[in-house]
């Protein structure tokens, strides 16, 4: 890899590297950045990817002055807003794909301006773009504009192109990458599994990749290494749900290990992740979308509420979405948003006291105190920790900046959240392929493997560095495109 990193660092044109999951792509980017001359702009797609790149830069002691890491979306939006008069773009929070397409188109036009091109050349000496298979056509256009002025190296894996662009055209790897960039190399060593002491698993996954690329089936009963557990279930929906729940509920590993259970990436399966987490009583916490739709819905409801009692009631409803047994562990009055008299037989008096404290002196600090008291209540388990702690983060931001409205505090928190990347605090998580792509765990549990497409299956199978558990209705996986 040392030789390939030197090739990337020295390359003055536009080139690409094929980089399968777990084969050292993040390390390669960091090592090449350390070898590069001048400051590099490093773009990726997700905030998990941003976080992973930053961690690798720190691990390799790459100086901060040598790089700036961002998502293509954030970088494009930021430059459009910085020169809004020229770009014609002023919306700080694009709401849907149609608006994001407009952002990229505005950014591409902006990059045609001579003064912007000069600014780019003065700011950066090279460009790296990670996870290039996840580019849309309009993002690809932005990269092509940057590539006119900067040495550009793109890295990706066509077998991991799983993002649903919902109306946006995805990049065509054969036409847009292989046809427009020089091939600089391919990563072929499964470093993730070698470093975890699971060489057999890494080799098996490399063979699985070859089968998927060639359209060959994967027989889970053949040549399976010890690190791979296969549990077959019948096609009855209830039996499948039970098998998935049991696989998670009784999964054995070191308490310090990380575990991810993975569902298909559609909207239907996002809801299934939350439901499974609730059924498991918080043993696993479900991952939220980065966009924070449920978070902003909660904030809007708080702002629209006409009384402190109504806001407390909204907080209780929000808690019910994030935790188990909330209503059963609160006085009925608190659930209604009312002040309650604390008696010897009051259910969970501390949470009730915090609710009363909010009604007596309403504010974000008091609401945060109430939610934290609920979290500590015996019999209540947090099942959507990602959403819960983001809400606390917004309330804390509002306390620190009382001059802001709650909605503005949420925007400020969310902007910082997107920049910093998703903190993975819980050891056991449930997420869809779209939400876990780019993340690494000690163990992975693939739920309903037969439902996954070829690319989703590959992403799911490559998340666990030490072991892999596969739940499927079929012992032979033959996924379509």
Q: What residue segments make up the domains of the chain, in order of their start?
A: 2-189, 193-287+426-477, 293-419
**Beta-bridge mates of residue 71:** 44
pLDDT score recorded for residue 166: 58
Residues of the chain short of pLDDT 70, as ranges, are 1-2, 164-168, 418-425, 481
Beta strands in 175-224 (DSSP E): 182-186, 218-219
Distance CA 108, CA 89 (A): 12
pLDDT score recorded for residue 289: 81
Q: How far is CA 171 from the centre of its chain?
A: 21
Distance CA 160, CA 426 (A): 25
| Residue from 169, 55, 138, 181 nearest 438 by CA | 55
Q: Is residue 265 within 8 Å of 458, Cβ to Cβ?
A: no
**pTM for this model (two decimals):** 0.82
pLDDT score recorded for residue 419: 62
What backbone phi and psi angles, to 5 degrees, belong to 41? -90, 120
27 CB neighbour count, 10 Å cutoff: 16
Q: For residue 52, give every residue at least 6 positions away whose Cβ sits within 8 Å of its Cβ, in sequence order, or none.
A: 26, 421, 438, 439, 440
- Sign, CA dihedral 351-355-360-363, equals positive
Cα 19 to Cα 131, 288, 466: the distances in Å are: 9, 27, 20
- In CATH, which of 3.50.50.60, 3.90.1150.10, 3.40.50.300, 3.40.50.720 is domain 2-189? 3.40.50.300
- In CATH, which of 3.30.470.20, 2.60.120.10, 3.40.50.970, 3.40.50.300 is domain 193-287+426-477? 3.40.50.300
pLDDT score recorded for residue 267: 77
Distance CA 193, CA 22 (A): 8
128: left (phi over 0), alpha (psi -120 to 50) or beta: beta
Distance CA 46, CA 302 (A): 29
pLDDT tens for 165-223 read 555 688 999 999 999 999 999 999 999 999 999 999 999 999 999 999 999 999 999 99
**Beta-bridge mates of residue 69:** 42
């Amino acid at each position: 890899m040392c030789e390939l990193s030197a090739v990337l660092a020295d390359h003055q044109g536009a080139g690409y590297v094929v980089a399968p999951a777990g084969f050292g792509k993040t390390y390669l980017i960091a090592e090449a950045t350390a070898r590069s001359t001048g400051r590099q702009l490093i773009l990726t797609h997700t905030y998990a990817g941003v976080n992973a790149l930053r961690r690798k830069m720190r691990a390799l002691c790459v100086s901060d002055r040598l790089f700036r890491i961002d998502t293509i979306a954030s970088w494009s939006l930021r430059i459009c807003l910085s020169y809004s008069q020229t770009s014609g773009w002023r919306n700080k929070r694009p709401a849907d794909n149609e608006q994001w397409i407009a952002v990229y188109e505005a950014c591409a036009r902006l990059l045609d301006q001579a003064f912007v091109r000069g600014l780019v050349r003065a700011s950066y000496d090279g460009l790296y773009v990670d996870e290039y298979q996840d580019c849309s056509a309009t993002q690809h256009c932005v990269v092509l504009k940057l590539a006119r002025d900067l040495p550009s190296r793109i890295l990706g894996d066509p077998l991991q192109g799983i993002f649903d662009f919902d109306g946006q055209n995805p990049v065509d790897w054969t036409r847009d990458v292989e046809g427009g960039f020089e091939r600089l190399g391919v990563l072929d060593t499964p470093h993730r599994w070698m470093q975890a002491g699971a060489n057999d698993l890494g080799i098996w996954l490399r063979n699985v990749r070859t089968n998927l690329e060639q359209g060959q089936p994967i027989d889970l009963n053949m040549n399976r290494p010890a690190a791979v557990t296969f549990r077959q279930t019948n096609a009855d929906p209830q039996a499948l749900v039970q098998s998935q729940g049991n696989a998670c509920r009784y999964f054995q590993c070191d308490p310090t290990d990380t575990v991810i259970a993975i569902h298909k990436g559609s909207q239907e399966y996002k809801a299934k992740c939350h439901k499974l987490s609730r059924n498991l009583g918080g043993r696993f916490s479900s991952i939220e979308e980065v966009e924070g739709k449920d978070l902003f819905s909660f904030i809007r409801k708080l702002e629209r509420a006409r009384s402190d009692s109504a806001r407390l009631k909204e907080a209780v409803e929000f808690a019910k979405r994030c935790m188990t047994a909330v209503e059963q562990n609160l006085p009925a009055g608190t659930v209604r948003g009312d002040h309650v008299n604390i008696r010897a037989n009051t259910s969970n008096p501390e949470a009730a006291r915090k609710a009363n404290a909010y009604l007596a002196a309403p504010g974000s600090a008091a609401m945060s105190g109430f939610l934290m008291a609920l979290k500590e209540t015996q019999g209540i388990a947090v099942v959507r920790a990602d959403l819960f702690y983001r809400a606390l983060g917004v309330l804390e931001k509002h306390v620190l900046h009382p001059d802001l409205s709650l909605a503005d505090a949420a925007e400020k928190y969310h902007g910082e959240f997107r920049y910093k990347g998703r903190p993975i605090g819980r050891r056991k998580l449930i997420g869809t392929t779209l939400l876990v792509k780019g993340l690494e765990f000690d163990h992975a549990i693939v739920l309903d493997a037969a439902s996954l497409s070829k690319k989703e299956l590959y992403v799911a199978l490559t998340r666990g560095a030490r072991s892999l558990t596969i739940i499927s209705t079929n012992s032979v996986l033959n996924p379509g495109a």
